[in-house]
Amino acid sequence: MTDVQTQVAGDERIKHRSRFREALIRPELGGIIGTILVFAMFLIFAGDSGMFNSQGVLNWGQISAQFMIIAVGACLLMIAGEFDLSVGSMIGFAGMLIAIFSVTLGWPVWMAIIVTFVIALAIGALNGYIVVRTGLPSFIVTLAFLFILRGFAIYLPQTIERKTIIGGVSDAAQGDWLAAVFGGKILTGLFQWLGDNGWIAVFERGTRKGQPVVDGLPMLVVWAIVLVIVGHVILTKTRFGNWIFAAGGDAEAARNSGVPVNRVKILMFMFTAFCATVFAACQVMEFGGAGSDRGLLKEFEAIIAVVIGGALLTGGYGSVIGAALGALIFGVVQQGLFFAGVESSLFRVFLGLILLFAVILNTYIRRIITGER
Amino acid sequence: MTSSQPLIRMQNIEKHFGSVIALAGVSVDIYPGECHCLLGDNGAGKSTFIKTMSGVHKPTKGDILFEGRPMYFADPRDAIAAGIATVHQHLAMIPLMSVSRNFFMGNEPLRKIGPFRFFDHDYANRVTMEEMRKMGINLRGPEQAVGTLSGGERQTVAIARAVHFGAKVLILDEPTSALGVRQTANVLATIDKVRKQGVAVVFITHNVRHALAVGDRFTVLNRGQTLGTAKRGEISAEELQDMMAGGQELATLEGSLGGTV
């Protein structure tokens, strides 16, 4: 016994652990190891393919950011003990609403976006309300909304415009202040400066000669970073974060201690819907239109990222940083295989293997931390 | 019985569920600093009685006087606010969460930074370690998950939490029934520490040995009625056992089991 000062009586059955091991054993460990492995692998196999120049980084950075945005919502909801399978359909539905409001109805884009957010949050609240009032598994309730919202995402444009893709949002969004929050770019000056100094690639010829190839940080990435930071701080540093853990860990025990479990869960469903709508708005602004099939299977990709990041499927345990790393692994692998020239269908094989590896590792880590058996 | 005035006086409490009479006029006084054992076999009405005391049920008849004033609890929250805390056997702690997060669950200390309020982890961790040390539990750290604690230690954390947040009456619903010998000893020791702080402990059990180990007074419930309250030293284990079982039946049982029950 070296640490006598804390071990007054000491339990002879508690093994002493080193500081290093204590610092290492954390929920994100699986995600950290996975991230290091994935980056090491692609640096070796695709290091000279352009994956790590400015365009390459932007490419997988944007894909990862997409995953991160929905993973943050899915992560907090999962820790609160619930699932949302309607995330993908919500992306398609919300994107379609923005397009219909702004193009078909001719509303200003900012109004279209705000009204869409209000509708999406209301649907999220309805999801949550049904789950907490009926006590049904959220798996079933949100599965219903997976179909309902996808159905509307197809039905509405079909009936109104006789097609399943609505374009022309770009024109409507010209000069719109809120559209820029989702589709714009920031730090363009910094990127120009980087280009001028030869740090990142610039166009060699043509009308944009001298301008950097990557001319700014897309708002999509900014949203991802902000959501991850805000989500992490709320979860680990606030009273509400403690309630999220408690609601998912044991709803009954939490209620006995005065935690408003129902409110927490409903708010988390709303937050998930919010994240899905951010995703949808960014996508609509990027592509200049909405399609009925947008966001297909995104709910599973979000859940996979969250689980790779160390969250427990049954709730009460997890980490937003871990989920973000899971999303990063997801994005890097998906785009990295392309850069490495590997047949793209192998992506799924690879993803399955990572998922399996991460979950086994995470289970092991979690047992050490929580003493579950 | 350090004080002459009872903290809670339950007078002729009756509770009917439809045609079932769960409690048929039970009177019990609880004094500060005493450990009042509530004994009874399954179905005797122990649970109904403590639920009435903690605000879950409203009595059909009878009065509850809390610190001398009549009290009407609309729900358990009222009772908790008044200082009546119940520690349930299983529904107290969340194993996946750390001890300090559990300790302050629902009562998170906050620290203001600019316009935001954050969970004050430093304060929470410090207080948790302190309170646990007082109860004789040496945590590896406040971040240790409750799941790594033994059943007895979890009960102790739950009791320490209730006391820290100002419980005047602590209702322990069969805290020892699922525990081993050493863990039971730990919980009983905790009850003793809490009692010495002036908290009234209502200890529900059907184990006479556990009751006699820490109890100051003993009330036996049988078929919704009390068979009276006895002081420590006035009653033996056999008598208590007899009263719980309703006398008659156990006498015949005892013959066949050779007095081992």
Please determine, for residue B259, whether its predicted confidence score (pLDDT) is greater than 60. no
> What pLDDT does B89 receive?
66
Between A271 and A7, whose confidence is greater?
A271
- Which residues of chain B neighbour A23 with C-beta distances below 8 Å? none
* Mean pLDDT, chain B, whole residue set: 84
Supply the pLDDT for residue A4: 38
In the DSSP assignment, the letter for residue B146 is G
Domains of chain A: 29-187+218-368 (1.10.3470)
Looking at residue A212, what is its pLDDT? 80
Tell me phi and psi for residue A217, to 5 degrees: -90, 120
Whole-number percent of chain A with pLDDT over 70: 93
Residues 143-162 of B with CB under 8 A from A: 145, 147-149
The predicted model gives B119-140 an average pLDDT of: 88
- Residue A16: pLDDT band (50, 70, 90) is low
Question: A174 pLDDT exceeds 90?
Answer: no
- Taking CA atoms, A155 is separated from A200, A277, A291, in Å, by 45, 19, 12
Which residues of chain A have a CB within 8 Å of the CB of B107? 257-258
User: Which residues of B fall within a CB distance of 8 Å from A6?
Assistant: 138
Higher pLDDT among residues B198 and A85, named by residue = A85
Interchain CB distance below 8 Å, B145 and A249 = no
For the ranges A185-189, B11-15, B167-171, which has the lowest average pLDDT?
A: A185-189
Alpha-helical regions (H) of chain A:
19-24, 29-46, 54-79, 87-99, 109-134, 138-161, 169-173, 177-183, 188-196, 219-237, 239-249, 251-256, 261-287, 298-308, 320-339, 346-370
Q: Is B110 on the interface with A (CB under 8 A)?
A: yes
Look-up: residue for tokens 């009263």?
B243
pLDDT tens digits, one per residue of B10-53: 888 888 888 888 888 888 999 998 999 998 888 788 888 888 88
Report pLDDT for A10: 47
Percent share of chain B, pLDDT over 90: 15
Contact A239 B117 (CB under 8 A): yes
Q: Considering only CB atoms, which residues of chain A are within 8 Å of chain B?
A: 6-11, 14, 17, 22, 237-239, 241-242, 245-246, 249-250, 252-254, 256-259, 312, 316-317, 369-372
| A125 against A203, higher pLDDT | A125
Neighbouring-strand partners of residue B119:
B110
- Reported pTM: 0.85
Q: Is the pLDDT of residue B249 over 90?
A: no
Q: What is the pLDDT of residues A126-162, one digit of tens each?
A: 999 999 999 999 999 999 999 999 999 999 999 988 8
Would you call A239 and B136 a contact, using CB atoms and an 8 Å cutoff?
A: no
What are the DSSP E strand ranges found in B141-254?
A: 169-173, 200-205, 217-222, 225-231
Residue A175 CA: distances (Å) to CA of A76, A109, A223, A285, B226 = 34, 10, 20, 12, 80
Our CA-based measurement puts residue B71 at a distance from the nearest CA of chain A, in whole angstroms, of 21
Statement: residue B1 has pLDDT above 80:
no
Cβ <8 Å between B92 and A253: yes
CB contact under 8 A, A316 and B91: no
Is B91 close to A249, i.e. CB distance below 8 A?
no
- Tell me the per-residue pLDDT of B199-230, one tens digit each, with 9 for 90 and over: 999 999 888 888 888 899 999 888 888 877 88
CA distance linking residue B92 with residue A253, whole number of Å: 5
pLDDT at A171: 87
Residues of A in contact with B113 (CB under 8 A): none
- DSSP category for residue A137: -
- A124 pLDDT tier (thresholds 50, 70, 90): very high
Out of A21-25, A26-30, A320-324, B228-232, the most confident range is A320-324
Question: What percent of chain B shows pLDDT beyond 70?
Answer: 91
Could B94 and A371 be called an inter-chain contact, meaning their C-beta atoms sit closer than 8 Å?
no
